[in-house]
Structure 1
C-alpha cells in the first residue's frame, strides 16, 4: 500500500500556494489557522506519529456546528470546513504506508465528508474515496467463504406468498409505450401504470446483476445511512451509520446476534456517493416529458429485507419506481380520496396516513374502507409510474432493491 499516498497526492493541488482556503467571517480565524496548519502538513515530508491531530480538531469542532440547531439553518461554510477536515484527516491516515485498518478509517472519513459536508475542490473527496476503495478491494478477499455463499443462495430462492390481485383492482400494464402514448394516456391524466421492458438494458439487470455478492464488492466498505425499524412511523424507528457490508450482515443476512429491528437503506445520496452503482442504472426516457432539467431529477435507493413497509403516503413529484431485485406489493389511492385516508395532523407527517393499510382500525378510521384503490405486485424489471400526490403503500415481499426517480 506504499503507493496509496502517491495516488492521493497526484490528485491534490500541486502546492500549498495552489490550495485555496477561503471562508467567510462565519468561520472563526482560529479555525482557519488550524486548517492552514493541516494544509502545510499535507505538503511536508514530516512523518510524525500524530499527523491526524489537527485534522481531528477541525472535524470535531465543525461536527459540533453541524449538530447545533436544525439542518436547514446550518451555514454552508461549516459544511465546507467539515469537508476540509475530512480531507486532511483521510490524507494524514494515508501519508505513510497505511495499514488495512487505516485505509478503512480513511474511507469512512471521506464518506462522512460526502454525506455531511459540502463539495470542495471539484469534489475531491469523491476522487480520493475511489482511490482508497480500489486499495481496499486489493487487500480483501474477492470471494466470500462457502458458508456465506450458501446463505445467499438460500435467501435468493425464498418464494414469498404474494397477495392475489383482483383483475378489477390491478394497475394496468403496458410494454414500452411511445413517449406520446405515455404522455397522453397516463402522464397528463395522472393515471398509474406499470411499464414493462423499459429498463431491460440496465447493467443492474443484465451485464452486472445486483446480487448481495456484487453489492458487497462494489460498496462493502462504504459508510451509508440506515433506517432501523420496519416503517418510519414506528416509535422505535431510528437512523444509524453502517458500512454497506455491516448493513448486509446485520439486516439482510441476519448473521449478527442481538440486532434489533428491521434495517432499511433508504438513501437519496447513494448514487452520488457511490458512482459505480449509478453506472448500473439509467434515467427512464419518459423523464424528458417533465419541465425540469436532468439535474433536477432525484434518484433514490431503497434496499431492505422481506417485510419492510413504506406507510401510505404521498410525494410532491412524479415518481418512477423501478424494481431491480425482489418483489413488492404496492397499493395506490387517488389524491381525490385524501379525506378518507386520515393523514396525520402534524406538519411533519401531513403527507402520511395514520391507517395501517393491510390491518386498518375500522372504528378509528371508518371511511378508509370506502376509498377505492389500485394494487399490484411489482417484479424485477418493471417500473411503476406513481403520479404526483397519489397515495401509495409499499411492502417488500422478499429481499428487495428498488430505484425511484422523482421528477416534475
Structure 2
C-alpha cells in the first residue's frame, strides 16, 4: 500500500475552481516525492526511468517541462505497446504507459480547470485504463472519478432540462422480428436450482433460457438502465467502439469515442445508414457504477475457475447490429437488460456444415450469412439443425462452450455476457 493523504502541502493556486480540482487530485497522490513509487526492472532502459524521475520531481515542484516529459513517456511506451501481439507486451511497459497518463493528467490540471482540459484529462485516464496496467492502487480510476465529479458539478449548474437525448430525434429501429417456431425454440426454465441446472444443462451442454435470475439487479430496479442513465454515469468516458454492422464486413473498423459521442452518432439520427456498437470487456472496470448495477450469476460457481477468472462484457448498440455466427472458448451467460435480440444456436458437432473461415484470425467464425445463406456456396448449411429465440429484457441465455451462435439486435439493446470455465 502507498501512503495517501487527504491534504497536500505543495499545492497553491490563485483560482478557486482550479485550486479545488487540483487540491482533490493532489490529495490522491502520495504526500511526498519519496513516497511516490517508481519500481522498474532492467527491462525499462535507465534513460526512460530518468525521464520518469524527472516527471516525479516536477510533479512535486510544479516546474520545468513537465507535460513534454510526460508525452515522451507516453510516446515511448505506446511504441512498445504496439510492437507485436498484445499478449507479448511486458506488463512493465503497460505500467509505464499508465505513469505517462498520470503525469500528463497532473500537468493538464495543475494550472487549468477549463471544461476542455478536464475532458482531455478524462480521456487520458481512460486510455491508461484501457491500454495500461493498474499502478499505485489503481490511481487513474481514483483520479477519473474526481474529474467526473467536476464535470457533474458543472452540468448540474448549467443543464437545461429540455436538452438531452430525450429531446432529440432517436433512430427508429425498423428491423424484422423472426417468428420462432415452437419446435426450434430454446427451452426456458424459471430459477432452477444449482443442482438441476448442472444436471440438465451444464453437464450435457444444452442451451437454455433462465428466467427470473437477474430480476434483483439494480440495473432493473434502483438504477434502470437507459440512454440517459448511461450518459449520466459514463457520458464523458472514452471507450472503444466497433463501427459497422458486423466484424466480418470489409468496412468494419474500431475507433475511440466518448459515450456521448457514440450515442450522438449512432443512436440519435444523423446518418441512418451507419451502425456502431459499443462492445468491450473493460467498461465495467472503467465505470464501477455500472458494475455495481449487475451481479455475477450464481451458476458460475459451478465452473472450475475463481470469480476473478470470469470475463464480463458489455454490448450496447442500435437495432440491426449483428454478431456473425461464431463460437467462444468458454461457457457464456448472455443477460439481456435493455431491448430484444434474435439468437440462433448450433451444436459444435455440426461445425463442418457451418463453413468456418479458413483464416486463423476468423477460424471461430462462419462464412455463412445465417438469415440469407448462399446455398450454392454452402449447401450443407441448410442441413444443420439449430435452436433459436428472441431474448427479452430480464432473461439470461446459457450458451455452452464452443456452441455456435448468431445474434442480431432487434432494437436499441444493452446486454451483459459472462464468460466462465
Q: TM-score w.r.t. structure 2 length?
A: 0.92
Cα deviation code 1:91-145 (max 9, x no counterpart): 1111124211111111000100111111111111111111111111112245564
Q: Which residue of 1 aligns with 2:214?
A: 199
Q: Which residue of 2 aligns with 1:323?
A: 336
1:5 aligned onto 2:18: no
Give 1:146 shift.
4.3
1:283 aligned onto 2:296: yes
Give 1:73 shift.
2.2
Q: Which residue of 2 aligns with 1:68?
A: 83
Q: Distance in 1 between matches of 2:279 and 2:217?
A: 21
- Equivalent pair of 2:173/2:412 in contact (CA under 8 Å): no
- Equivalent pair of 2:246/2:322 in contact (CA under 8 Å): yes
- Equivalent pair of 1:142/1:217 in contact (CA under 8 Å): no
Q: Which residue of 1 aligns with 2:136?
A: 121
Partner secondary structure for residue 388 of structure 1:
coil
1:225 aligned onto 2:248: no
- Equivalent pair of 1:4/1:97 in contact (CA under 8 Å): no
Q: Structure 2 regions of 5+ residues with no counterpart?
A: 1-16
RMSD, aligned α-carbons: 1.7
1:150 aligned onto 2:167: yes
Q: Distance in 2 between matches of 1:262 and 1:160?
A: 13
For 2:42, which of 10, 13, 25 is the aligned residue? 25
Mean Cα deviation higher: 389-398 or 76-85: 76-85
Q: Which residue of 2 aligns with 1:352?
A: 365
Q: Which residue of 1 aligns with 2:107?
A: 92
Q: Which residue of 2 aligns with 1:343?
A: 356
Q: Distance in 2 between matches of 1:16 and 1:260?
A: 53
- Equivalent pair of 2:241/2:257 in contact (CA under 8 Å): yes
Q: Which residue of 2 aligns with 1:298?
A: 311
Q: Structure 1 regions of 5+ residues with no counterpart?
A: none
Partner secondary structure for residue 363 of structure 2:
coil
Give 1:294 shift.
0.4
Give 1:224 shift.
0.3
Q: Trace 1:29-40 onto structure 2 (pairs within 5 A).
A: 29-40=46-57
Mean Cα deviation higher: 62-71 or 365-374: 62-71
Partner secondary structure for residue 52 of structure 1:
helix
- Cα distance change of structure 1 residues 382 and 159 upon mapping to structure 2, 3 Å threshold: farther
Q: Distance in 1 between matches of 2:346 and 2:279?
A: 23
Q: Distance in 2 between matches of 1:166 and 1:217?
A: 40
Q: Which residue of 1 aligns with 2:11?
A: none
Q: Which residue of 2 aligns with 1:401?
A: 414
- Cα distance change of structure 1 residues 333 and 307 upon mapping to structure 2, 3 Å threshold: same
Q: Distance in 2 between matches of 1:233 and 1:391?
A: 16
Q: Distance in 2 between matches of 1:391 and 1:143?
A: 47
Give 1:76 shift.
1.8
Give 1:365 shift.
0.4
- Cα distance change of structure 1 residues 364 and 161 upon mapping to structure 2, 3 Å threshold: closer
For 1:135, which of 150, 162, 178 is the aligned residue? 150
For 1:361, which of 374, 377, 386 is the aligned residue? 374
Give 1:399 shift.
0.6
- Equivalent pair of 2:173/2:318 in contact (CA under 8 Å): no
Mean Cα deviation higher: 296-305 or 11-20: 11-20
1:43 aligned onto 2:60: yes
Q: Distance in 1 between matches of 2:126 and 2:164?
A: 30
- Cα distance change of structure 1 residues 334 and 144 upon mapping to structure 2, 3 Å threshold: farther
